[in-house]
Amino acid sequence: MVTVIGVDACPAGWLAVELHDGRFAQARVVTALRSLLPGIAPTGGVAVVAVDIPLGLLDTGWRRADAQAAALLGPRRGSVFRVPPRAVWQEETYDDARRRCRELTGAGLSRQSWGLAAKLREANACLAEPGGDRLFEVHPEVSFRALAGSAPLDRKKSWAGQTARRSLLAAAGIVLPDDLGDAGRTPPDDVLDAAAAAWTAHRIACARARSLPDPPERDTGGRPVAIWY
């Protein structure tokens, strides 16, 4: 049995959707991403953990993954933000980070992007943890784009957009139950995003996934920097 987990940040921490052989198994909320890593979690048989957060930071310039994801999404490109170099995320305040971003790239940093700083740092620290080699970056809208093919999708916070995304997941074998227990108290779009991440995680585990860019960039440690789908 191939077990994978898709993860999305949520108000309570991280929402995880687990698949067994590509089928829904469970959804849960955890406070720490590291608790899901196969080298740390009590059940270590997880093949892939796919998370919707930037993994892999460059020392200079912008990541190609983000530019290519935005180009692929077209009208939905607003869901992708450019990830600045590592030094920007090491700053303690938004004003300092914005200043450092401008120094290094010539462009500023949005407050919305900076709002992900704590989760981004947590996720990237996990790369050095046991099982961190099974952690992959995804972007749910890129995954949904692959699921939908050329069909346009309404924004994910709309009723039509959520209905369409849930139908796409069901057609791919991921049937989300109406009752998710405690996980069902998270926003619906977070559930859908975690499920899309899990779909990509299964593709990665089965060696069917693709990456943006292809081949991936590499950080200074040689780790791939890419968005998988």
Q: Does residue 70 belong to any structural domain of this protein?
A: no
Q: Does residue 200 belong to any structural domain of this protein?
A: yes
Q: Does residue 145 belong to any structural domain of this protein?
A: yes
Burial 80-115 (b: 16+ CB within 10 A, else e): bebbbbbebbebeeeeebbebbeebbeeebeeebbe
Q: Does residue 41 belong to any structural domain of this protein?
A: yes
pLDDT of residue 43: 67
Q: What is the pLDDT of residues 95-131, one digit of tens each?
A: 999 999 999 999 999 999 999 999 999 999 999 999 9
- What whole-number percentage of the chain has pLDDT above 70? 100
Beta-sheet strands, E only, within the chain: 3-10, 13-20, 23-30, 46-51, 135-137, 211-218, 224-228
Q: Does residue 39 belong to any structural domain of this protein?
A: yes
Range of the domain at 50: 3-55+131-211
Q: How many domains does the chain have?
A: 1
Q: Does residue 65 belong to any structural domain of this protein?
A: no
Contact predicate 138/56, CB 8 Å = no
Q: Does residue 189 belong to any structural domain of this protein?
A: yes
Q: What is the pLDDT of residues 179-212, one digit of tens each?
A: 999 999 999 999 999 999 999 999 999 999 999 9
Q: What is the pLDDT of residues 68-95, one digit of tens each?
A: 999 999 988 889 999 999 999 999 999 9
Q: What is the pLDDT of residues 132-155, one digit of tens each?
A: 999 999 999 999 999 999 788 999
pLDDT of residue 152: 87
Name 46's bridge partners. 3
CATH code: domain of residue 34 = 3.30.420
pTM above threshold 0.85:
yes
Mean pLDDT, residues 35-43: 85
Q: Does residue 93 belong to any structural domain of this protein?
A: no
pLDDT of residue 212: 98
